Amino acid sequence: MPYFDAASAAPLHPVAREALLASLDEGWADPARLYREGRRARLLLDAAREAAAEAVGCRPDELVFTPSGTRAVHSAVSGALAARRRTGRRLLHSAVEHSSVLHAAEAHTAAGGTRVELAVDRTGRVAAEDVAGALTPDTALVALQSANHEVGTEQPVEEVAARCQEAGVPLLVDAAQSLAWGKVPGAWSLLTASAHKWGGPPGVGLLVVRKGTRFAPQGPADERESGRSAGFENLPAIVAAAASLRALRADAGTEAEAARLRGLVDRIRARVPELVPDVEVAGDPVHRLPHLVTFSCLYVDGETLLHELDRAGFSVSSGSSCTSSTLTPSHVLRAMGVLSEGNVRISLPYGTAEADVERFLEVLPGVVRSVRERLGVPAATAGPRAAGGSPATAADAAGPPEPAEPRGLVVDSLGKRCPLPVIELAKAIGRVPAGGTVTVLSDDEAARQDIPAWCTMRGQEYVGERAAERGAAYVVRRRV
């Protein structure tokens, strides 16, 4: 069964497995003790730290191990902000950061600090000029991921780091998704990562604080890990994490594998819109991670789509609003202003077979079609293009048109969840003449994002949103 969710957790690297099993016998003792077993454990911990530091590109005494990548992020944010409290309490971060950064920012504002969320373009990339323009004398910290976890877009870390260095503001880089593929360039000040993203075991994070960066650890006090990460080290997992990261760096085939996976992702990016009508591929097509691609399908229930792909043998992820875990759209897709319904994220692990990608491309069209049919989407709604290249509506391609309604039509979608408000909009747009409007009443949070995205994809005009007695009213004007 092809596993296409390496961005969530990569399969355990063979070297990590060997190191984990070996260190269970040798690394169980307390590395802080002076007896034989403790000294042996300390040697393993020091060797793991040196290996990880070399792979990151820092000094061993700048790196500590944490219980997770999330803990590393919270420690980095709180520690850097606390150390610079006299300078100011202003935190800058992009709108597409991982939720751990956003949660840390929320804790900061709850404690009286301030935060500024920097907008991104439709590829999910923040402009270095925007970061530079937002730097003020009271800015204490800037947080920026090296590459996005949902769409794979790489951020201009090196350029942003240079701007921050000029302003004397530390830059925290969340390198969870990119560290498997290489060192993070630039004069960054702090860095975090998570071992299970590169094939290490879960439960190990990295926190790097470069020399000269002011840092005041917050939370439980402990003498371990330079006082920056409390608790007894999970030494077997740490050794396995460092061993797998070192193996990736030492493997001469890593670069070739990255190029191979990039080619497979390029194939997915090109073929999916050809095979499946009304699909939007998100993220930067060039400046991106080599193994990750995400796309969204109009008129599709994301939860059902993932279940059907699982039944077909494919393990994929989603940032869709139509999943059981959340009724709100992905904050990443929302910030980008792209479609969220029917979202599929594919992240290929090392060694993914080309045949598995080809089979996915064969299966996907039928799966999407069956989900749309179950939701009552007319076949003509998804696909045909009107004359002149404008997208056709259901009425344009489904035979004789229904009698036109007055120039203003109201569609009541209250109480209905994604993607039903958009489906009903698609059915209704053909019932008004060109220049007429359709107003969709909806209390589904995803409608705020997906109705404008539908207008962009289908060549219609999004007039805007206004408050309604329940939810909101979204007004669309028919262009063709």
Residue numbers annotated as active site: 322
Q: How far apart are CA 63 and CA 336, in angstroms?
A: 33
- Using CA atoms in the order 156, 160, 161, 165, what is the torsion angle rounded to 10 degrees? 170
Q: How far apart are CA 256 and CA 440, in angstroms?
A: 50
Contact 64, 229 (CB under 8 A): yes
Contact 298, 342 (CB under 8 A): yes
Question: Is residue 18 helix, strand or coil?
Answer: helix
Task: Please give the structure tokens belonging to residue 475.
Answer: 């007004």
Q: How far from 272 is each of 43, 291, 384, CA to CA, in Å?
A: 50, 16, 16
Beta-carbon contacts of 161 under 8 Å, excluding residues fewer than 6 positions away, are 171, 173, 186, 187, 188
Beta-carbon contacts of 183 under 8 Å, excluding residues fewer than 6 positions away, are 55, 56, 57
Quickly count: other Cβ atoms within 10 Å of residue 105's Cβ.
23
Beta bridge partners of 385: 391
Strands 63-66 and 205-209: antiparallel
CB-based burial label for 387 (10 Å; 0-12, 13-18, 19+):
exposed
Task: Please give the structure tokens belonging to residue 215.
Answer: 């840092």
Quickly count: other Cβ atoms within 10 Å of residue 470's Cβ.
12
